[in-house]
Structure formats: structure tokens, C-alpha cells
Amino acid sequence: MKKLSGDKINYADLIKWIFALLIIVLIVLKFTGNRVSNADFKDVKKAVEKTVKDDDTVLDGDNVMVKRLYGIDPADYDGIMLKYPSTNMNVNEVFLVKLKDVKQQDQILEAVEKRLETQKNNFENYGTNQYSILKKSVTDVQGNYIMFVVNEKTDPIVKAFEKSLK
């Protein structure tokens, strides 16, 4: 490193601020991506439930159903809501989880992936309509919240979910 004094540029100072800029960019990206939300689970659940309240193709799932369909223990998480298909011919579903720690993201994403795979296998050969709905499913990861939605119109549900986290 060249030693400089007086009014000459000090390259170490300059490079330092380039690193600072990269750190700021990384932080901004983190803020827009994976931010942990302090929103109360009850409020988020309420906001999401509102969007599916008239949907008679889904039923409320209890802890046993969560274990059965997703293979996870609800006690390991801060909050879980499941709306599962009311009949074998429906695929509409909403699965909302508040994580205790963002490190749990992988477990939930794996469980969701398995669930989606199972449903796709169930409908691949005879339920064209259901299969196309499954293909439109959305898994929305927002830091400590994850929502999995299978619906013809996922947009309003996702918007309500994301809005409730702010």
C-alpha cells in the first residue's frame, strides 16, 4: 500500500468505503428479503383467514392434521394455521407458520415441498384442473413467517399476508 500524506488520496481510506458500500448494499438486500417480523401471529392469521373465509373448499386443520400432512410438531413453532382441502377432490390449502427462529426455515420449506410433491403425484394423471392449481402454488418466505398457498387466486391471500407483517 502506497503511503500518502497531505492532500493526496489515501487508497486505504478509499477502499475501506467501497467495502462499507458493499456492506450497506447487503444490509438493504437483507431488509427487503428476509426480515424478521414482530407482527403478532393472531393478527397475521386473522388477516389471512379473512381472504379465505368464504372458501368452503377448505377446513380448519388441528395439530394432528398438521402432523399428518406436514410431518412436523406444531409445538416447535410460535404459531401454525392450516386450512386443508375439505374433500379429496379439492386442493385449496393455506399453511401459515411463525418460526421461533429463522433457522427453522429449511425444515418448513422441506415439509412444504414434500406436501406439494405428494399432492402433485395424487392429481398428476387424472385431475388436470387440480394439477394446474397446484402448479400455481406459492411459498412465501418472510423471515420468521412462511406461508404456503394453493389456490386459483393466490394474489389476494399473499398480499394480505405480506401486508399484515408490516
Partner 1 sequence: MGFNSLVFIFILLPFALLVYKYIPKQWHNIFLLILSLFFYAWGSAPALIMILLSVGFNFFAARGIGQHIESGDKRTARIQLIASVAFDVALLAVYKYTGLDMPLGISFYSFSVMSCLFDVYYGKTSAQVEFFDFFLYVMFFPKIISGPIVKWEDFRAQVHNHAVTRDGFLQGFELFLAGFFKKALLADKLGVTLASLLARPQQTVGLAWIGVFVYSFELYLDFSGYSDMAIGLARMFGFSFKKNFDYPYTSESVSVFWRRWHISLGAWFRDYVYIPLGGSRCNRGTQIRNLMIVWVLTGIWHGSTLNYLIWGLYHGSLVLLDKFVIGERLQKVPRRLRILLTDAAVFIGWVFFFRTGIGDAFAHIGRLFGIGAAGFWSRATTFSLTENLILLIIAALCCSPWMKNMHAKLTYKKDGAAMYISVALYVILFVFGVAGILGSTWTSFMYANF
Nearer to partner 1, 65 or 102 (CB): 102
Among 55, 90, 140, 143, binds partner 1 (CB under 8 A): 143
Residue 18: enclosing H or E segment and its boundaries? helix 11-33
Contact flag: residue 35 with partner 1 (CB under 8 A): yes
- Compute how many residues bind partner 1; rule: CB under 8 A: 24
Contact flag: residue 89 with partner 1 (CB under 8 A): no
Contact flag: residue 135 with partner 1 (CB under 8 A): no
Pick the piece of the chain touching partner 1 (CB under 8 A) from 4-12, 48-56, 124-132, 133-141. 4-12
Q: How many CB atoms lie within 10 A of CB 78?
A: 14
Strands 58-61 and 145-150: unpaired
Number of helices (H) and strands (E) in the chain: give both, helices first.
Answer: 6, 5
Q: How many CB atoms lie within 10 A of CB 3?
A: 8
Note whether 138 and 152 are within 8 A (CB). no
Nearer to partner 1, 22 or 89 (CB): 22
Strands 138-142 and 93-98: unpaired
Pick the piece of the chain touching partner 1 (CB under 8 A) from 25-33, 86-94, 110-118, 147-155. 25-33
Under the rule (CB under 8 A), what is the footprint of partner 1?
Answer: 1, 3-5, 10, 12-13, 15-16, 19-20, 22-23, 26-27, 30-31, 34-38, 102, 143
